[in-house]
Amino acid sequence: MDSVAGATVLITGAARGLGKSFAQRAVAERAAHVVLWDIDAAALAGTAAELTAAGVSRIHRHVVDLSDPQAIAAAAETVHAEIGTVDILVNNAGVVHGNRYFWETSDRAEIERTMAINALAPMRVALEFLPAMVAGGRPARLLTIASSAALVSNPRMSVYAASKWAALGWSDSVRLELEQSGNGHVRVTTVCPTYIDTGMFEGAKGFLFTPVLRQEQVTDTAWREMKKGTPLVVLPWTSRLNRAISGLLPVKVRDRYLNAVGVYHSMDEFTGRAV
């Protein structure tokens, strides 16, 4: 897939950050329809207006609470009725809470919401569109933004890590299912970046040889590898190294190493995006 020209692209968490950047890429490549899903109505309207001004793609915006299965189903029904089949689905939306130990969590709903949006929503959204992508027989793509937290355990982000481990396991298993069933025209790419400068991880610290990633760098790489159909993208190279080390070293040795390079203290001063 050299370009998304003429395709229908749906992006979750599209109002800002990576989601907005993905939408800009789709418009720049002359996608026929770009569907934006986000819970922030005001930010979504602003992004949609910017993209519409380009006058290239038809922009569709839907305010969707991805923690609500019924909201997902209703929004998907509208997309099917107004546009039809989605060619490229980008599961980008995510939430994070951190800078506390698990037992210090006072709001139990925070756990439910994190798992619902980060782990369950990609599955629920994919179920709405993937069957038609499989049946259509045309080249199609499913891009899921997971995290390097899906590869290495990390203090002060246990629930987030759990949600991203689930997202990675699900996404890569679906990739294998598509290949095994002879539906290779639908390719799945899972992206696992470290912290990105979108504001979502404000206060989180980079660690040895691993600065906070630039949003444009992650968008460019993820978009390019999605079109190629690359199965797994881990950013940056140090995350690939840490993943390999975690699989080879005894747990205690691994812990000493990751503690020494700063991974285990990268969330100590996390504040998150200001509301």
The total number of residues written for the chain in this structure: 275
To the query of whether residue 257 is one of the catalytic residues in this protein, the response is: no
> What DSSP string runs through 43-108?
HHHHHHHHHHHT-SSEEEEEE--TT-HHHHHHHHHHHHHHT---SEEEE-------SS-GGG---H
- Coil, helix or strand for 42? helix
Q: How far is C-alpha 95 from the geometric centre of its chain's CA atoms?
A: 10
Asked whether the beta carbons of 218 and 18 are under 8 A apart, the reply is: yes
Structure tokens belonging to residue 273: 């995006």
Burial 91-120 (b: 16+ CB within 10 A, else e): bbbbbbbbeeeeeeeeeeeebebbbbbbbb
For residue 56, give the nearest of 92, 25, 81, 82 by alpha carbon.
Answer: 25
The Cα 76–Cα 82 span in angstroms is 10
Structure tokens belonging to residue 227: 């079109």
Say which of 101, 160, 195, 257 is annotated catalytic: 160
Asked whether the beta carbons of 238 and 209 are under 8 A apart, the reply is: yes
The catalytic residue positions are 160
